[in-house]
A and B are shown apart, each in its own frame.
Chain A
């Protein structure tokens, strides 16, 4: 099951912990992968680890034109993009009362508008092939909200609407669009927490631990597979049971 031999995947934000693990998982199942991100070195390191069937395509998705260029580059490098994983994202936290327009727009632009632009560009090709998978990476806070992250939560909630709308627009062509919503995952960000903070956080998670990037990668792999061909417009929550919706 979940064999991706002969498939190609573009993963944005592949220099990050979750993105890298998604790329590894798709690659392990046989896919050719294109790694995108802003940090060239991290992408090169991951590419060296994967060794074959891998392309490095740096892009700065805060620049609107970069989205279409990245899709064109990925199509050129791999011959096609079967699977698009919109994983790149950033945060600019702050309480709404103190949040600048710039910090609001920056997050909406990269976390919501860039996935829109990438999907639009990739779907042109997917429609012709009458096949494709778009997988957006959302967040638990897109459903629950989170103080200090109004911009990020809005973008991630917006991604759910984008996912559902797009899923309906292209379903007739056999293309599926889904979203994976991670809960709290072990990343360099959570490494900064002290023991007491970690214990407190774990206590709020019914399954008793923080998630690992591979927990998310497995969900993405499922949605990318042929086996998930009858799943579209859905939000797959992967959060240790922290928020059940």
Chain B
């Protein structure tokens, strides 16, 4: 797992208070990890802060799983 993936996972575990084992790449924040819409907004803000990236609202809407978040941040970082 990449460094970014590790960090994303850690943020998700911390923020949603879920078991680390449940935070698989395919896990959906809302459907699998019990997040509500406000949690997803807070997660995106936490990602922005942790990685120093800006995630515009239209991109944020498409980030629904752990993998979505990792992919988006990795792409931003690569650019």
- Which positions in A face B, CB cutoff 8 Å? 124, 127-128, 169-170, 172-173
Contact = CB atoms under 8 A, between A and B. Distances in A.
| CB-based closest 3 A-B pairs | A127-B42, A172-B38, A172-B36
Contacts of A170: 38
Nearest to B46: A128
A173 B37 CA distance: 12
B42 to A, nearest CB: 6
A199 to B, nearest CB: 51
B45 interface: yes
Query: Which secondary structure dominates where chain B touches chain A?
Result: helix
A151 B69 CA distance: 43
Given A124-B45, A127-B38, A127-B42, 6 more contacts: A128-B42, A169-B38, A170-B38, A172-B36, A172-B38, A173-B38
A185 B73 CA distance: 53
Contacts of B42: 127-128
B19 to A, nearest CB: 21
A156 B68 CA distance: 41
Contacts of B45: 124
Residue from the set B36, B38, B42, B45 with the largest chain A CB neighbour count within 10 Å: B38
Nearest to B15: A128
Interface string B21-36: 0000000000000001
Contacts of A169: 38
Contacts of A173: 38
A162 to B, nearest CB: 17
